Structure 1
Amino acid sequence: MILKTFGWSFGVTIVGLVAAALFWGWEAFAIVLILSILEISLSFDNAVVNAGVLKRMNAFWQKIFLTIGILIAVFGMRLIFPVVIVSVTAGLGPIEAVELALDDPDHYEELVTDAHPSIAAFGGMFLLMIFLNFIFEKREVMWLRWIEKPLSHLGRINGFSVGVALAALLVAATQIATSAYQHGGLHADKSDTVLLSGVAGVLVYLLVGGLSDFFENRLEEDEERLEEEEAEAKKKAAAEGKEVSAVGVAGRAAFFLFLYLEVLDASFSFDGVIGAFAITNEIFLMALGLGIGAMYVRSLTIYLVRQGTLDDYRYLEHGAHYAIGALALLLLISIRWHLNEVITGLLGVCLIGLSFWSSVRANRLDAAAEESGAEKESSRV
Structure 2
Amino acid sequence: MILRTFGWSFAVTALGLVAALLYGGWVGFGIVAILSVLEISLSFDNAVVNAGILKKMNAFWQKIFLTIGILIAVFGMRLVFPVVIVAVSAGLGPIEAVDLALNDKDRYQELVTDAHASIASFGGMFLLMIFLDFIFEDRDIKWLRWIERPLARLGKVEMLSVCIALIVLMISALYLAPQAHQHGGTHADKTETVLLSGIAGLITYLVVGGLSGFFEGKLDEEEEREHEAEEAAKRSGKPVILLAGKAAFFMFLYLEVLDASFSFDGVIGAFAITNDIVLMALGLGIGAMYVRSITVYLVRQGTLEDYVYLEHGAHYAIGALAAILLITIRFEVNEFVTGLVGVVLIGWSFWSSVRRNRALVASGHKGDGSDDASKVTSGA
Quick check: TM above 0.5?
A: yes
Amino acid aligned to 2:27: E
Residue 6 (structure 1) shift: 0.3
1:203 is the counterpart of 2:203: yes
* Contact 1:179/1:336 (8 A) holds in 2: no
Pairwise mapping of residues 205-284 of structure 1 onto structure 2 (< 5 A)?
205-225=205-225, 250-284=244-278
Aligned equivalent of 2:192: 192
Aligned equivalent of 1:20: 20
Pairwise mapping of residues 86-105 of structure 1 onto structure 2 (< 5 A)?
86-105=86-105
Residue 11 (structure 1) shift: 0.4
Amino acid aligned to 2:79: L
Residue 179 (structure 1) shift: 4.3
* Contact 2:82/2:112 (8 A) holds in 1: yes
SS in 2 for 1:41: helix
Paired positions, count: 349
Residue 284 (structure 1) shift: 1.0
Closer/same/farther in 2, CA of residues 16 and 371 from structure 1, 3 Å limit: same
Aligned equivalent of 1:302: 296
Aligned equivalent of 1:39: 39
Residue 19 (structure 1) shift: 1.2
Closer/same/farther in 2, CA of residues 354 and 91 from structure 1, 3 Å limit: same
Amino acid aligned to 2:326: L
Closer/same/farther in 2, CA of residues 227 and 151 from structure 1, 3 Å limit: closer
In structure 2, what is the Cα distance between the partners aligned to 1:143 and 1:227? Answer: 30
CA displacement 1:268-297 (0-9 Å, x = unmatched): 000000000011111011011000000000
* Contact 1:32/1:289 (8 A) holds in 2: yes
* Contact 1:116/1:335 (8 A) holds in 2: yes
Select the residue among 273, 279, 285 that pairs with 1:291. Answer: 285
Amino acid aligned to 2:318: I
Select the residue among 353, 361, 381 that pairs with 2:355. Answer: 361
Residue 188 (structure 1) shift: 4.6
CA displacement 1:168-190 (0-9 Å, x = unmatched): 0000001111449xxxxxx9531
SS in 2 for 1:198: helix
1:65 is the counterpart of 2:59: no
Aligned equivalent of 2:52: 52
- Superposition TM-score, scaled by structure 1 size: 0.89
Aligned equivalent of 1:232: none
In structure 1, what is the Cα distance between the partners aligned to 2:305 and 2:50? Answer: 14
Residue 222 (structure 1) shift: 3.0
Aligned equivalent of 1:131: 131
1:370 is the counterpart of 2:364: yes
Aligned equivalent of 1:184: none
SS in 1 for 2:45: helix
* Contact 2:136/2:152 (8 A) holds in 1: yes
Amino acid aligned to 1:260: Y
Aligned equivalent of 1:159: 159
In structure 2, what is the Cα distance between the partners aligned to 1:214 and 1:228? Answer: 24
- Gaps (5+ residues) in structure 2? 181-186, 230-240, 367-380
Aligned equivalent of 1:314: 308
- Superposition TM-score, scaled by structure 2 size: 0.89
Aligned equivalent of 1:235: none
Amino acid aligned to 2:94: P
In structure 1, what is the Cα distance between the partners aligned to 2:80 and 2:178? Answer: 29
* Contact 1:216/1:250 (8 A) holds in 2: no
Amino acid aligned to 2:306: D
Aligned equivalent of 1:336: 330
SS in 1 for 2:157: coil
Report % sequence identity.
73
* Contact 2:61/2:244 (8 A) holds in 1: no
Closer/same/farther in 2, CA of residues 105 and 308 from structure 1, 3 Å limit: same
In structure 2, what is the Cα distance between the partners aligned to 1:179 and 1:347? Answer: 29
SS in 1 for 2:177: helix
Aligned equivalent of 1:168: 168
In structure 2, what is the Cα distance between the partners aligned to 1:179 and 1:34? Answer: 34
In structure 2, what is the Cα distance between the partners aligned to 1:41 and 1:178? Answer: 29
CA displacement 1:82-115 (0-9 Å, x = unmatched): 1110111100000000000011011000000010
In structure 2, what is the Cα distance between the partners aligned to 1:322 and 1:225? Answer: 35
Amino acid aligned to 1:45: D
In structure 1, what is the Cα distance between the partners aligned to 2:226 and 2:341? Answer: 47
In structure 2, what is the Cα distance between the partners aligned to 1:162 and 1:69? Answer: 28
In structure 2, what is the Cα distance between the partners aligned to 1:225 and 1:324? Answer: 35
SS in 2 for 1:335: coil
Residue 24 (structure 1) shift: 2.4
CA displacement 1:282-328 (0-9 Å, x = unmatched): 10110110000000000000000110101101111000000000000
Residue 26 (structure 1) shift: 1.3
In structure 1, what is the Cα distance between the partners aligned to 2:188 and 2:41? Answer: 31
Amino acid aligned to 1:315: Y
Amino acid aligned to 1:47: A
Closer/same/farther in 2, CA of residues 151 and 227 from structure 1, 3 Å limit: closer
Residue 59 (structure 1) shift: 1.1
In structure 1, what is the Cα distance between the partners aligned to 2:144 and 2:217? Answer: 29
- Gaps (5+ residues) in structure 1? 181-186, 230-245, 373-381
Closer/same/farther in 2, CA of residues 363 and 121 from structure 1, 3 Å limit: same
CA displacement 1:62-82 (0-9 Å, x = unmatched): 111111101000110001101
